[in-house]
Structure 1
Amino acid sequence: MRPLSPSIPEKEFVLEALGQGLRVDGRAPLEMRQPVLTFGPEFGYVECSLGKTKVICSIDAKMVRPSPERLFEGVISLHSEISPMASTEYEAGYGRPSDAEVEISRMLDKILRRSDAIDKESLCVLAGQRVWHLKLTFHFLSDSGNMLDCACLAGITALRHFRRPEVEVVGEEVIVHAPEERAPLPLAIHHTPLCFTFALFNDSLPALLDPSHLEETLCAGTMSIALNAQKELCVLQKAGGVAMEADAILKLLEIGVMKAKELDKLIEEALAADFATRVVEVR
C-alpha cells in the first residue's frame, strides 16, 4: 500500500516554517516562481514553465459556419487533458475528465473566453456564412503545483503569439492566402487576463502566491484572481472553507495587480524576442 503523502512530520515541518514566514523552496510567501516561455516553430504554440510545472498550449484555426445566435462572431473553444505523464496522481480516464481537469477547464474558459479577451467580431469573414474557429488545446506535461496559473499564462501568450492567414472576400468567394503570399495577421485582443492563485491556511498563516504541489495539498483553501495590467478584475474564485475579511481580499487583489503588470511586461519581451527571429514578416 502506498504511504500517505505528505507524512505527518512533513506536514508539521511545512506548517511550522510557514508560521515563521518561510517556505520549503526558499521563496517569500508572496513570491512567484520565475515563468519561462518557450515558443514552437508555428504561431500559437507556447510552452510555459513555473518551476517544474509545465503546460503547452497550441492553437488551431479553421473556418466554420457561425452559430445562428452569433452570426457576426467567431468561435473560441478550449480543450484540456491531464494525462498520467503530469503526475502519478492522475490516471487515464478513458474519456472521463478528472475533477482537477474539470475545475481547471472551467476557470480557463472563464478567463480566456468569457472575459472577452479576444474580439470575436474580428473573427468574422463573411457574415452569417464563414467565421474563424480558434481551438486552444492544453497539454499538461508536469504538475509541480499551480497548473491553473501556468496554463492561463500559456494560453494568453499563445493567443498573442498566434497569427491567422489573411483572407480576401470576392463576392461570395473566400480566398485564404498562404503565409508565403501575404503575411499572417494577429488577433484583435482587448486585454490580457492573467491568473494568480493563493493558497490559504487556517491559524493565521500567510497566504502563499503560486503554491507548490505540497502547499496545495496542505492548504485549507485557495483563491484564484484573474485580472489584467489595467486593474480590471475578470474572475475571482475562492475554494475551501477559509474565512477571509474584506481587507485581506483587497490586499490579495493589490498584489495581483502588481504581479499582472510584471507578467504583462514579461510576455511583451518574450514575444518581441521571438518575432525578431521569425523570417515571415509579422504585423
Structure 2
Amino acid sequence: MYNSMDEVPVSLHASIDTGDGEFDMNTLISNNAHILFIVLDSLRYDIALQEQTAGNTPNLNHYGQWTKCEAAGNFTWPSHHAMYSGFMPKPIDDTVNQTMLFFPKDIGLGRKGPKNAFAFDDATWIKSLENKGYQTICIGGVSFFNNRSGMGKVFPSMFKESYWHPRFACTVKESMDNQIHYIQKIMAERAGSQPVMMYINIDTIHYPNHFYVEGAAPGDTVETHAAALRHIDARIDGLLNIFRQTGGETFVIVCSDHGTCYGEDGKYFHSFNHPIVNTVPYMHFLLSGNH
C-alpha cells in the first residue's frame, strides 16, 4: 500500500520527531501573534557575517547572530516556492538536528511534525494562516512580485493582499524607505483588527547596488553589497517599530533567498549553483509590543 513516508529515509523521520524548535509556533499562532517574514534579497552569508563581526549592522546584531544556512534555490523563484511551502534555509553546520517552523503534511515526512511546528495541509503555510483568520499581506520588491506578468502574479496570488509599486523596485535607491512608508500606512488602517502575516521582499542588495557607495561608478562589488546591507540595517528598526506599535507579539524571520557573485571563480550574479550563491544568512526572533 502506498505510503508517502516511504519516499524519505527513516533517519529523517527520527530527526523530524525530535526536531522541536525553541519557539512554539502553535502557541504563537493560537495567541494571534503577528508573523513578519523579511527576505533580504541576494544577501550573501560571508558579507552578512563580515558586517556583523565588524559591528557595522548594530540593529540586526541586537536581535541575534546569523546562522549559516543553505538556500533551497539559487534565485528568487525556486527559493520562495520552497520557503512558502515550509522549507526554510537549512543550517549547514548541523545537518542532523533540523527544526521546522512550518510543517507540510503528507509530502514524505508524515502528518505529524515536530511538536512546536505549525503543521498545515494547504499548498503554503501562508494559506493555512489565512484560513486561521490571519490577514496575509505581500509587499513586493523584485519583478517576481510586481503583479505585471504571468510569473509576477504567482507569488502575490498566494496572499490575501499584495502590493507593489515601481518605487519598490531594486533600481530605486530609496526602495526600502518607500516600502516602510507604505507598510506604516496599511498597518495603521488595520489598527489591531486581526493578526497579520506579512512578507516583505527587500531588494536593496539585489543588483544594482553600486549607488549605496557615494560616487561609485556603475558596477556592483562586494563593497557596494556591504554598503547596501548597512543601508538596510539603518532602517530595519523603523520597520520593526511598526509591528511593536501594534502592542502584540510578532514572530520575525529574516533571511536571504540566495547570494550573488561578483567574479568569484569567473561567476557573476546568481541563478547557478556556487557556494556563495547557495549559502545564506538566517535568523528568527520574537518581538514584543510597546503597548
Greater relative contact order: 1 or 2 (C-alpha under 8 angstroms, separation 6 or more)?
2
Same fold (TM over 0.5): no
Larger fraction in strand: 1
Q: Please, what TM-score do these two structures have when normalized by structure 2?
A: 0.25
Whichever structure has more helix as a proportion of its residues is 2
Larger Rg: 1
